[in-house]
Chain A
Amino acid sequence: MNNTVIPSNKAVLSALLRADFTTQWRNRRSVVLILFIPVIILISWKGLVDKLGGPFVLSNCITIGLNAVGLMGYSNAVARDRDKGIFQRLRVAPLTAWSIMLSRLAVQLAMILLVTTGVFVAGYYADGIQLTPGGYIAGFAMAFVGGAVYLGLGQAIVGLIKNPETVNAVTRLVYFVFIMVGMFAEQGALPATVTKIVKWSPYGTVEHILSAGMQAGAWTQHSTIELLVTIGYALIFSAIGIRWFKWTTK
């Protein structure tokens, strides 16, 4: 037996983060697309800001962005890398599985930050929506909680489905259903039963905690229940995704 030196977690994470952020940067067209839809909706809803309220408009757009990050970005990237054997190649190196996933999640946290900032900036310049500093901070905090729901959902999808094309199709479908049904129900355009379901769905709870968080004094006991439900969604989806996730498609 020789004197084998195991690289430190810091060195391993630093190398992984560098590679994962570079990969994300090279895929910046998809980053732009993730930002594009919420910003377009934000601009097109300019006339509704007075009627619906700035925080409501912002929270809907951030929710749509978070949907895209977790469902379109994260799950498809994981499905592709698993199919190509990129994870298997990393797993035969002297590093732990959690470090591979931690690096991936760090990239997604940066994406959540970017989407939320993008919506706040676009909301300010395009629609003239201005929040208090506390509203912005709470908005970011709620965006991370809401982002965890959609990352968890993305993880659950790649945990339950192996084929990358099927993952792609399912995530697009879920994304489409969430944003279409979610937006219309939030505006009261759908039957009461559907509106009630949407209210307690991952779309509704995330949108509500974002909206309540952005308005000083608007946070109620009901918002706390919605926050707990949101955290519950994140935990359940993540547990499913981790439990059934396989590193290889074979």
Chain B
Amino acid sequence: MTITSTDIVLQVEGLHVTYGNFKAVDNVSFHVRAGEIFGLLGPNGAGKTSTLSCVEGLLQAQAGSITVAGYDVKLQPLHARANLGVQLQTTNFQPELTVAEILQLFAGIHGVPLTRERLQEILVSIKLEDAAHKRYGQLSGGQQQRVSLVIAMVHNPRLVLLDEPTTGLDPQSRRQLWERMEGLRDNNHGILLTTHSMEEAEAVCDRIGIIDHGRIIAIDSPQVLIDNHRNDPAVISVSRKGKITLEDVFIGLTGTTVRS
């Protein structure tokens, strides 16, 4: 099947998530196209994780719909997840297993045959060819992130969710990960990225959605967001260097109060 760059790989429509009386996600709608990196930005507690959890099928929304590659996550969860590659924030593989064993596990549960040659190719692609028999717990943070990303991609999913993937990485590893993300985009994968780094969002995202108090308050390309809010007094008041940046726009729109 030919995938065109306008294919929508994730469609979120009118999503509502509540915890008791608290509205964590309030009528959120956005989409991610194939060949696009979409950044979902927001302060702590803004609703990013709840939105992502709904996309992953780990949380049931009270209202709204989500489709991944055309499959409804509620009605066809296995089909939706088969089209989804996920890199979660924290270390989440058995530390006793080696890199090769983890790759075999995830290839197996996605029904992807993994020959010794293919395994070696994958390891070479992430510069871990000598680490096949190293236990996951023995890898550095950067190496773990590379393994985590390659596992998210082992079944060639149409949509990749990256949840703060560069947190704790050194600048070299971070740049390398950006290049990998751009490589995925060039191969027509859709990427949904969450990050607290405005530099990262500005560097790699084609479009950005800013979420606060459970609502999407702005959605556009980084440059258009900057241009549209250049003269906003709230944005100008938080600008530090006389030049408006994405971070200024973000803080101008979401406020300066530190969230818990």
Residue of B71, B92, B97 near A4 (CB, 8 A) is: B71
Q: By the criterion CB–CB under 8 Å, are A19 and B101 in contact?
A: yes
Q: Which of A84-136 contact B (CB under 8 A)?
A: 84-86, 88-96
**B105, A16: Cβ atoms closer than 8 Å:** yes
Q: State how many angstroms separate the Cβ of B86 from the closest Cβ of chain A.
A: 4
Determine the chain A residues whose CB is within 8 A of the CB of B102 once the complex forms: 19
Q: Is B197 an interface residue (CB 8 A)?
A: no
* B96 at interface by CB-CB < 8 Å: yes
Q: How far, in Å, is B85 (CB) from chain A's closest CB?
A: 9
Cβ B108 vs Cβ A5 within 8 A: no
Q: Which of A18, A19, A91, A247 has the most CB of B within 10 A?
A: A19
Chain A: interface residue total (CB-CB under 8 A): 34
Contact B94 A1 (CB under 8 A): no
| Contact A92–B79 (Cβ < 8 Å) | no
Residues on the B chain within 8 Å of A88, using CB = 58, 88, 92
User: Contacts A2-B1, A22-B97, A88-B58 hold; do A94 and B105 have CB atoms under 8 A apart?
Assistant: no
Q: A26: CB under 8 A from chain B?
A: yes
A92 touches B91 (CB 8 A): no
- Cβ of A6 within 8 Å of any chain B Cβ, yes or no, is yes
The closest CB in chain A to the CB of B90 belongs to: A85
Which residues of B have CB within 8 Å of A6?
Answer: 78-79, 82, 111
Q: Is the pair A3, B1 in contact by a Cβ cutoff of 8 Å?
A: yes
The answer on a CB contact under 8 Å between A93 and B110 is: yes
**A4 to B9 CA separation, bound complex (whole angstroms):** 13
Please give me the residue from chain A that is nearest to B101 by CB atom: A22
Query: Is the Cβ of A11 less than 8 Å from the Cβ of B57?
Result: no
What's the Cα separation between A44 and B83 when bound, in Å?
A: 58
Q: Which residue of B lies closest to A83 (CB)?
A: B90
CB proximity to B under 8 Å, residues A161-204: none
B30: Cβ under 8 A from any A Cβ = no
Q: Is B248 an interface residue (CB 8 A)?
A: no
Residue of A nearest to B83 (CB): A4
A1–B111 touching, CB < 8 Å: no
A19 touches B94 (CB 8 A): yes
Question: Is there contact, CB below 8 Å, between B108 and A18?
Answer: yes
Whether B111 pairs with A5 at a CB distance below 8 angstroms is: yes
Indicate if the CB atoms of B97 and A94 lie closer than 8 Å. no
Q: Which of B69, B81, B91, B96 contacts A93 (CB 8 A)?
A: B81
B109 touches A89 (CB 8 A): no
Taken together as a complex, chains A and B put the C-alpha atoms of A81 and B94 apart, in Å, by 8
CB distance from A49 to the nearest CB of B (A): 39
Judge if B26 is at the interface, Cβ distance under 8 Å: no
Contacts of A26 in B (CB 8 A): 96-97
Interface residues of A (CB under 8 A from B): 1-8, 11-12, 14-16, 18-19, 22-23, 26-27, 81, 84-86, 88-96, 247-248
Given contacts A84-B91, A85-B88, 17 further A-B contacts (CB under 8 A): A1-B69, A1-B71, A2-B1, A2-B69, A2-B70, A7-B82, A12-B109, A15-B105, A16-B108, A18-B108, A22-B101, A23-B96, A89-B86, A92-B57, A92-B88, A93-B109, A93-B110
What are 27 A-B pairs with beta-carbon distances under 8 A?
Answer: A2-B83, A3-B1, A4-B71, A6-B79, A7-B82, A7-B109, A7-B110, A12-B111, A15-B107, A15-B108, A18-B104, A19-B94, A22-B96, A23-B97, A26-B97, A84-B92, A85-B88, A85-B90, A85-B92, A89-B88, A89-B93, A93-B81, A93-B106, A93-B109, A94-B78, A94-B110, A96-B78
Name the 8 nearest CB pairs between A and B, nearest first. Answer: A15-B108, A7-B111, A1-B70, A85-B92, A26-B96, A89-B92, A94-B82, A19-B105
